[in-house]
Chain A
Amino acid sequence: MSSIDVRELCGQIADSRRNRTPRGSLSETGSLPLDVAYQVQATMAREREAAGDSIIGYKLGLISPDKQRQMGVSEPIIGHVHRSMIINPGEPVRRDRFIQPRMEPELAVVFGRPVGEGARPGQIAAAIDFVLLVIDVLDSIYAGYRFTAGDVVADNASGGAVVVGSRVLPADVLFDGDDRRLRLLTGRTWHGGSVDSLGDPIGWIAWAADKAASLGRGVRRGDMLLLGSPCPAVPLPEAGPLLAEGPLGSHVLARVE
């Protein structure tokens, strides 16, 4: 595909999001290669940043081998996190800013130092300032989340919002501890999975740092990285309480309005 196609795709995605209208796959008229999809994503992220909504980190998706097989890819995907996506503790989650929101409980690492390409495990561990429990709000532009890997990458890995938990967690929670569960309240039942099912966090951080470098910006001091969900996404409630729980009694507690 030519660079004109990248511009055209950026425009289509921006239109869907602006009008809050779900759309069909971008790949319907032919496959959308991952490298072109990442060009689309990076172009849109830079434009959003130029408009004042700075990039403050990244999110990982498709970290489980099952999900990867399902999407026909052999590695995870990465998306950009912008400032305006962050919802602080105590802020309501405004339902009307999304198209078809779903949510997942996740851990996010926040870096006290940059993480360069080819960083060694020890360097990565030392670069982690702290960890947060978050609710990752996904918001795909594709109707019913029916998309190809290229589609979802071009759509910034379905990034919608990040509802931040109320306490800082030590990096240790990635590796050990008694309570390994991340769970979300859905209606009156809990839905979740174990941190252990995320695989090797250091390995994923290394992959994300390399990928972020290849997209041009890299992982900087102060950036966050969402490590992916241990369980499938569920719909964001229309209204009412939003609650997730994680290690060391951490929680995300908000209201959907």
Chain B
Amino acid sequence: MHIVAEELARILEDAWQNRRPVDPFHESHGLQDVETAYRIQQAWMAMRLGQGETVVGRKIGLTSRAMQQQLGVNEPDFGTLLKGWELPVESGVAVASMRRFIQPRVEGEIAFLLGEDLEGPGVTVVDVFRATVAVAAAVEVIDSRIRDWRIRLVDTVADNASCGGFAVGPWNSGWRDLDLSRLGMGLYVEGNLSSTGSGAAALGHPAACVAWLANKLFAMGDRLRAGDVVLSGSLGPAVPVGEGSWVRLEVAGLEPVDVYFGA
């Protein structure tokens, strides 16, 4: 089946606008290759930017071995963080309306704020260490425009790496005193410890994820830019949330983030 990226991007845009999930593209359109999936993602993001959206940075997905095994892949994927999808954090608390989401789940991550461009090829963690201005604990709300999360790699890549929203806690510019691979993470939903992990859960080191992304973007003719926020990948399993959920993310050494999911 011939795939026109813009057509599938339109389907995703409509699904997102109307909060109405669609069948997986690997079924409905025979989508198979990842390159085409990224072209669909790019077409969708271009559509959003055409609506006046702006880019905050990037997110990295599928960084844990468990998620990669589940989807039968051996590398991460990435999506774009849009300003309109940010859940503003005030005094450590973000409020999100459930009307934004279809089938949301939350993940605990470490966000990077870059002070310099990172352009591949061959970007290493040493470059990431040099370019990083600050880090923060961040709750990513992942959400799928694909019905019942029946995703393969190509579906989630096209669907902006299943990004739904994100809440970034206060930036910590003293991150150089921390070993990001050894930060413990606890994600509480309704006061229950629902997901735990550590920095090393994301490809061994969150900064290694950022390096991977810079090199991946280079292969696609792009780069990470000074000022970009990069969500470096989940440190533990994702947890479903619903209306009324109160989520608290604690990462050792960083300020916590609370997210309340209202009506």
Contact = CB atoms under 8 A, between A and B. Distances in A.
Q: How large, as a class, is the contact surface on chain A?
A: 20 to 34
Nearest to A221: B130
A83 B179 contact: no
B207 A132 contact: no
Given A88-B211, A166-B181, A168-B176, A110 B204 contact: no
Contacts of B125: 86, 88-89, 164
B211 A54 contact: no
A202 to B, nearest CB: 21
B205 A110 contact: no
Nearest to B120: A83
A35 to B, nearest CB: 30
User: Interface residues of B: mostly helix, strand, loop or mixed?
Assistant: helix
Interface of A: 52-54, 56, 83-84, 86, 88-91, 110, 112, 129-130, 132, 164, 166-168, 170, 222, 224, 249-251
A90 B122 contact: no
21 contacts: A54-B122, A56-B124, A84-B122, A88-B125, A88-B207, A88-B208, A88-B211, A89-B125, A89-B207, A90-B181, A90-B203, A90-B204, A90-B208, A110-B126, A110-B130, A164-B126, A167-B179, A167-B180, A168-B176, A249-B179, A250-B179
Contacts of B126: 56, 86, 110, 132, 164, 224
Given A88-B205, A110-B129, A166 B176 contact: no
B200 interface: yes
Nearest to B199: A166
Contacts of A168: 129, 176
Interface in B134-152: none
Interface string B181-205: 1100000000000000000100111
B30 interface: no
Contacts of A250: 179
Contacts of A54: 122
Contacts of B181: 89-90, 166-167
A49 to B, nearest CB: 11
Interface string B149-185: 0000000000000000000000000001011111000
B118 to A, nearest CB: 11
Contacts of A90: 181, 200, 203-205, 208
A168 B182 CA distance: 13
Contacts of B6: none
Interface residues of B, number: 21
Contacts, number: 68
Nearest to A90: B204
B84 interface: no
A67 B57 CA distance: 50
A83 B130 contact: no
Contacts of B179: 166-167, 249-251
A91 B208 contact: yes
Nearest to A254: B204
Contacts of B129: 110, 130, 132, 168
Given A110-B129, A170-B176, A250-B179, A89 B205 contact: yes
B23 interface: no
Nearest to A89: B205
B124 A88 contact: yes
Contacts of B176: 130, 167-168, 170
Contact of B204 (A56, A88, A112, A251): A88
Nearest to B201: A90
B262 interface: no
A82 to B, nearest CB: 9
B156 to A, nearest CB: 22
A70 to B, nearest CB: 32
